[in-house]
Amino acid sequence: DQQVKQNSPSLSVQEGRISILNCDYTNSMFDYFLWYKKYPAEGPTFLISISSIKDKNEDGRFTVFLNKSAKHLSLHIVPSQPGDSAVYFCAAKDTSGTYKYIFGTGTRLKVLA
Amino acid sequence: DAGITQSPRHKVTETGTPVTLRCHQTENHRYMYWYRQDPGHGLRLIHYSYGVKDTDKGEVSDGYSVSRSKTEDFLLTLESATSSQTSVYFCAISPGTGAGANVLTFGAGSRLTVL
């Protein structure tokens, strides 16, 4: 049972435009959400996070939105740059007595110059 | 990369042989994790540790065991490797408290091929 879902395996966006990556979750015990970026042959690197008590968090070109009622979060990248081309994973932290982080299957973003 | 190293970085082994991957951290973080990355599956949690000698299972723990005898080292063992365990393995750490308490920092990965 996939608790964290990224339903779009890939996304292509023109340079300078907005990239929107989506993530859905099913477990209401998740209280902290993170986005990671991964380049080939490297480990994932932390991008931005949001606590369940907030609905938006912004860091430079990156904004994460959380809709708890819909169990949905999204990552907005504005403006998109060619260097943003990577695989993006969303992750959720389980607080039901464990310290597990569950990841989605990833979305490959390609920013076209 | 933020004081976390994985070894070996690459390994080729044969079916049925034991394999141990090591994760070493210099950050004194409490929590350590082992994930595997496979196409179409993203990152899946194998085992994690919430302190010395304290470990728990993740989503895909069958065929794997772990040990943490000291804060800085978290070992992942495949007792008898199978071809389905061919994957890239990532170790991650998290402090649990203080600045960045909930952020996972990943190692560079260990690519394992089981023939």
For residue range B23-80, what is the model confidence (pLDDT) as tens digits? 999 999 999 999 999 988 999 999 999 999 999 999 999 999 999 999 999 999 999 9
Which chain B residues are Cβ-neighbours of A36 within 8 angstroms? 104, 106
Could you tell me which residues come within 8 angstroms of residue B16 by beta carbon, excluding any fewer than 6 positions away?
B80, B81
What's the average model confidence in pLDDT over A80-103? 92
Q: What is the mean pLDDT of residues A37-55?
A: 95
pLDDT of B90 above 70: yes
Is A44 within 8 Å of B59 when comparing Cβ atoms? Answer: no
Q: What span, in angstroms and rounded, lies between the C-alpha atoms of A81 and A21?
A: 15
B105·A46 Cβ contact <8 A: yes
- Chain B residues near residue A6 by CB distance under 8 angstroms: 42
Phi, psi dihedral angles at B85 (to 5 degrees): -95, 5
**Amino acid letter, B15:** T
Mean pLDDT, chain B, integer = 95
Q: B62: which residues sit within 8 A by CB, 6+ positions away? A: none
pLDDT score, position B101? 86
